[in-house]
Each structure stands twice: as C-alpha cells, then as structure tokens.
Structure 1
Amino acid sequence: MKSLRSVKYYVWPTLIYIAVSALLVVHAYREARQDALHEIDRILAVAVALLPGQLPPDFHDRAVAPGSIALEEELANRDKVNALAALTGITYLYTLVPYQDGLYFSAPTVTPEEAQRQPRWYFHPYADAPEAFRQALETGRPTVYEYADQWGTFRTLITPMRSPGGRVYLACADYDMAEVKASLREHLTRVLAFSLCTFASCVPFFFATRRVTRRFHNFGKSLVEINASLRDLAARDELTGVLNRRSFFQGAQRMLEQMHAYAESGALLMIDLDNFKQINRAIGHLGGDRVLKRIAGGVGRTLRANDLLGRYGGVEFVVFVPKTTPEDALSAAERIRRTIEDVGCDPAQGAPGCTASIGLILVDDGVRTVEDAVAQADELLFKAKDLGKNKVVDRL
C-alpha cells in the first residue's frame, strides 16, 4: 500500500506537469507559427506590389493570346521576375491572364530545369488551378491561399490587378512553407522530448521554451528586416536614390492634408533639366546617369529635413516644401537652380553645363490634391522654358 501511495504521489504531479507542458508547447507553437505567417504575408505583399514594375506598362494589354509576346521580350521579363523572386526569397512569382475559360501564365519565374525542358512558358496553361484563383478574379479582392501539390506546400498571395488598358490579370507570389514547417516540427519535437525527460523540474522546460522562442524571434526578426529593406527599395528611385513618383505623391498628399487641417501653406516645384540630350551625346548615357545622381544629391542637400524630393520621370524632379512662406519658397527655388548649375557642370568629362527650368506654385487651401499642384507647376515650367530656360517662374 505504501508503495502504491508513493506511485500515486509521483503520477499525479507527472501527469499535471506533462499536461501543462503540452499546453505551453502548443501555445508557443501556435504563436510562433502566427508570427511567421504574418511576416511571410507581408513579404508576399511587397513582392506582388513590385512585380508589375518589372514588366513593360502595356505588357498585359498585349498579352492576349499565345504568340502575342515575342520570345525576346519573354526572356527579358523572365530575367527581371527571377531576380525579384531571388531578392525577396519568394519561390514562385508570376502573373496569370484569363483566356478561353482557363488561366495562363504570362510572366512567370522559370527554373533552369524548366527552361531546359521547354523554351517558352508564356501562355503556358495553369492546369487544375485552385478555385481560389478564379474566386479572386471574380471578386477583385486579394486572397491568401495555402495549398499542397507535387512540388510542395505553398502559401500564396493572389492579387487582382488592372493594366493601363483595362485588362484584368492576377499577380501572384508563392512562399515555400517546407522550411518553416520543418523548423517548427523540429523544435516542437525537441522541446517535448526534453520536457518529458526532465519532468522533475520546470527549469529545463523553461529554458527549452526560451530557446524555441528565441529561434522563432530571430526568424521573425530576419523577415522584418527583409520586409523593411524591400519597403525602402520600393519607395526609392533606382538610379538617383530619391523618392520614386508613387512614393512622392503619397507622402506629399499626406503633408498636404495635414497643412489643410492647420490652415498652413506650402510650395511645390517642378524641375526639368535643360538640354540634357546634349550631355548624353557628349559623355554617353552612363555619364548622363552620373550627372543625374550628382544633381539629385546636390538638390537634396539644399532642402530641409521635412521637405520631399522625388524623381518625376526622365530628367524631371519634383519638390514639395511644406509649411513655408512665398519668400522662402522662392529663395529655395533659386537655391536649387544655382545648385544644379554648379553641380551639373563637369568640364573634366567634356560635358556641357547643365541648368534647370523651374515652375513654382504656392500650395494653399485652393489646391486640394498633389496632382492639381503638379499640373499648375508644370504650366509654369513650360513658361520658364519659353523665356530662355535656367529660370524660375512662380505663381505665389
């Protein structure tokens, strides 16, 4: 009887310990999995947002049938999409177009083995496409979908998009879940085994749980860092490092709405470099790129910390100056013009000097959107060109 009571004395604490340990491990597993999935979904979203920028703007307006895209363009698109997939850690990155009641690949990633098996993957049918793809196409809403096939288990973001010509297509990104699931299973097994072997004390279980948490924290942290670098990459102009057009408009619109809320005024400058074709002819396009970088850096150094500088396109830049007076705005525009005149000149390379024509407008309650401000400043920019260039024409 005494021996039986001794066994009962150990059995109940052991069972309780095992039950509590199992609950804690399951809870830690679920939390780690949710954190990992959250970061994976953010990376998928960034990859899908960057995907259309790797293709010609009118690509999906022309991708209407087999053979409508030349092999040379397909290979060029493939290189860009493969490079973006490698940068983001995405397994598959692709676009799909509807055609004759089916879905067809228009710009997919292609592995070397797949490329060797067949040269063309443009308009390759997506046989047995999961229903989630068709539902996303019908509803027009992004969908996160997890599926398994002969190549593995993937988490997929399916995002309906529309080309400039109005053609609807799907931009998709797949993340291979094998590594994530294997890591979760491996650490779960280790913690359970260690906990059961050391049930006499909670300390070993505590350290094992900490170890698992730290591993998944580091995994999540690396995903966050990748996501942050991708966001910065998506917001910057590749050549000059200033804000790209989309990011500039978003940031300037937020500032404009804040200024309206406090009845403040600002200014917007449209800048166009004069006679830049002559520079390209004199020192080549790579030399012209160096001049553009130098000008962007010089203009950025003349601005305040809260001013926005973006590349509008080609050799055009745009500056938003919040919370300023007409006098200060005009002074800033002249300072930018002189800076471009100074840093754009490179006699050592045999390049002609570079100047800029600038259109400047005051942004107040009468200007509701950044697009309106850009349109008005653009008119003044053309007047500066007509008056002989290298001038600031304002409406303050």
Structure 2
Amino acid sequence: MHKTSWMTSDILGRLNANAGMLLLRSLWEYCPEHMFIVRVEGPADFVIEAMNSTRQAMLGDETACIGKRIEQLLPPPMCHGVIANLHRCAECGSPIRYEEKGGYVDRHGACQQGHWQTLLVPITNQEGRVTHLFGVSRDMSQLPEQPVGASPESKEFERRVHERTAELVAANEHLTHLATHDCLTDTYNRRYLQELAELELRRASRYEQSLCLMMLDIDYFKKINDSEGHLAGDEALRCVAHTILATVRECDLVGRYGGDEFLILMPETTADGAREIAERLRRTLTQTSRFTVSIGIACLAPTDHFVVDLIHRADTMLLQAKRNGRNRIECAA
C-alpha cells in the first residue's frame, strides 16, 4: 500500500478516523480507475492534492505530480478543457460528468493518446465553500474486449450499446463545438476565446513567461459588403480565418472577436516573434488572395491583470495601423 501518497493529503488522512473507512481507503489504493483530488485555489487555479496508484502510473510518481497545477501536467489544448470542467464543477457546487479526448506525456516522457469518462464531485468546508474536487476517470481506450464465447445476442446488444454511445459522444462533441466556435469561420467564438485567454494570461504571469496578443481586421471590409453583398463578406471572413489557422502555431489561440475582427493569443512569444508571425500572415494573404489586413500587437506587461488590458492596447495599435495606410503591422512598445 502506498502510505506516502496516502499521507500527503489531509483529506485522505481523515479516512483513518475509524475502521469503517478502511473500505474507502482500500478502494483508493486498489481501484483500477483513475482517482484524484485537486485543491481549488481560484476560478482557474487548481492544484493536484492527491492521486491514487492508477493515476500515478499514468502521469508519474507522487513527487512528480503532487503540488503541481493542471497546466504543468497536461499540454494545451487538453489542459484548457480539463480546467474548464473543474471550474464548472466548483462554480455550480454539484457533481458533473464529462468526456475528454487528448494527448498527454506519460511518466516515461512518451506522448500518449487517451479517451476518458470523468465524474467530478465537489468537497465543501464548514462554510459551504468548495475547497477541493474529487474525480474518478475511466480510461475508455483500456476497456476489455468482448470475451471469447459470448452469445450472439449479447454481442448484438453490445454492438448496439457501442453504436448508441458513439452517437451520443459525437452529438455531445458537436454541441460542444457549436458552443465554443464561430459557425462562419470555425475559429473560437468571443466568449470561449476570452475564457481560454484568461487562463493563459494567469499562467504567463505566474511563471513570468512572455505572451502576445494580436488583433486584426480586414481592410475595407464594409466596402466589400456594400458593393458585393454580404455573401462576399462572408467569403472574405472564411478566407482570412483559413489563412490565419494555416499560418499560426498549434499552441496559438484564434478567435473571431466581432464583425471582421480576429484575435490571436500567442503564448510564450516575444514582440519580435509575434511580429514575425504577423508579417508572415500579412504577406501570405497579399500573395494568395485579394484581401489585406491591418494588425495591432500588444505584449503582456506587469500591470496587465486581465485580457481586456491586452485587447485595449492591441486595438489601439490596430487603429494606428489603419490610420497609417492599412495592410501594415503596428506593435506596442
């Protein structure tokens, strides 16, 4: 029994209060499902407090995981989805279930893909405030295959269950996509982009990492709508969005902010790096389409506490780019 990992958590230590709780302790140590407890330190700030042996086998031993934040253990964009669900459970104060797919780096440094069904249960203190979240995850990719000799009826029933489950999962993923993406450009919508951006800003501030935000819009977009119609305007938006997604890095967050304005959040990026990406995007659009864009760039400053601070400065730079002739880039000092 892993007594060290057990004693690292005050919550789990309370299970020793009486013999009747030994069953729960045994479940924790020997259950094949992934079990974990996270401490709620803020709206998007969650720290691993404890994990059972199965979870440790996936991510690493206790010393490698306990006390670390979610974003330190899981890569984006997977960590964004996990944090969003932890926040949802802490906010509503009720158990929630969700499914997730994604990649992670295991204890041996190898990249792995997984598919999990997770139950989250909030743990409150005497004042009723949610202080911790208890989670149980089932690795769907590791479920046992159909046993040999199963009857045709059971096989047919299992097949129908799998088909129905797959349909429900697909429907849920589709609804999630609709709720988080702009239907015209297939980039993040404004609300979801700002949620993700706030998480990245907190992470960058905490670890003193660079972060840049780019705001751009399509030059003379109103003229396109007025002279060629809104269908032409929609095509311009799709063309620019497609070029953005094909140009930026996988870790960058792209969303439609409103009208013909797009935001691109670039983690761990300096002003020079952001300008290089912006110039590549501007040049690609000029060479491959009839559209041009004006771009404003802002970099994270010590006084920035919210994403809106970055957005305001990037917007100011965007206006300056338009006043200076359009189809150009301006970056805040």
TM-score by length of 2: 0.51
Q: Do the aligned residues in 1 keep the contact of 2:313 with 2:332 (CA within 8 Å)?
A: no
Match of 2:73 in 1: none
Q: Which residue number in structure 1 is paired with residue 297 of structure 2?
A: 360
Between the aligned residues of both structures, percent identity stands at: 37
User: Per chain length, whose mean CA-contact separation is higher, i.e. which structure has more relative contact order (CA < 8 Å, sep 6+)?
Assistant: 1
**C-alpha contact (below 8 Å) 1:268/1:362 kept by paired residues:** yes
1:302 alignment counterpart = 247
1:318 CA drift (Å): 0.8
1:278 aligns with 2:223: yes
Who is 2:270 aligned against? 325
Unaligned runs of 5+ in 2: 1-91, 95-147
Partner deviation per Cα, 1:232-267 (whole Å, 9 max, x = no partner):
122221111111111211222222222223210110
Question: Residue 364 of structure 1: CA displacement?
Answer: 4.2
Give the AA of the match of 2:176. R
Residues 304 and 205 of structure 1: CA distance in aligned 2, closer, same or farther (over 3 Å): closer
How far apart, in 2, do the equivalents of 1:205 and 1:378 lie?
Answer: 64
Q: 2:65 corresponds to which residue?
A: none
Deviation of 1:216 (Å): 3.4
Corresponding residue number in structure 2 for 1:339? 284
* Residue equivalent to 1:250: 195
Q: Which residue of 1 aligns with 2:172?
A: 227
Q: Report the structure, 1 or 2, having the larger helix content.
A: 1
Q: Provide TM-score, normalisation by structure 1.
A: 0.44
> Is the contact made by 1:244 and 1:310 (CA closer than 8 Å) also made in structure 2?
yes
Cα distance, 1:322 vs structure 2: 0.6
Could you tell me how far 1:271 is from its partner in structure 2? Answer: 0.5
Tell me the distance in 2 between the aligned counterparts of 1:343 and 1:314.
22
Q: Residue type matched to 2:204 in 1?
A: M
Match of 1:237 in 2: 182
> Contact 1:294–1:343 at 8 Å: present in 2 too?
no
Note the C-alpha offset of 1:317.
Answer: 0.7
Residue-pair matches, total:
191
Q: Residue 314 of structure 1: CA displacement?
A: 0.8
CA RMSD, aligned part only?
2.9
SS of 1:311's equivalent in the other structure is strand
Supply the distance in 1 between the matched residues of 2:157 and 2:241 (Cα, whole angstroms): 47
Q: Does 2:224 match 1:287?
A: no
Measured in 1, the distance between the counterparts of 2:224 and 2:159 equals 55
Counterpart residue type for residue 240 of structure 1: T
Which runs of 5 or more residues in structure 1 are unaligned? 1-139, 143-202, 346-353
Runs of 4+ in 1 over 4 A off after TM superposition: 203-214
Map of 2:212 onto structure 1: 267
Shift of 1:213: 5.1
- CA positional deviation for 1:219: 2.4
Contact 2:271 2:331 (8 Å CA) reproduced:
no
Aligned to 2:257: 312
Q: CA deviation at 1:283?
A: 2.6
Change (3 A) 1:263 1:205: same
Instruction: Give the conservation status (yes or no) of the 8 Å contact 1:358–1:393.
Output: yes
Whether the aligned pair in 2 keeps the contact of 1:298 and 1:343 (CA below 8 Å) is no
Pair 1:393-2:322 in alignment: no
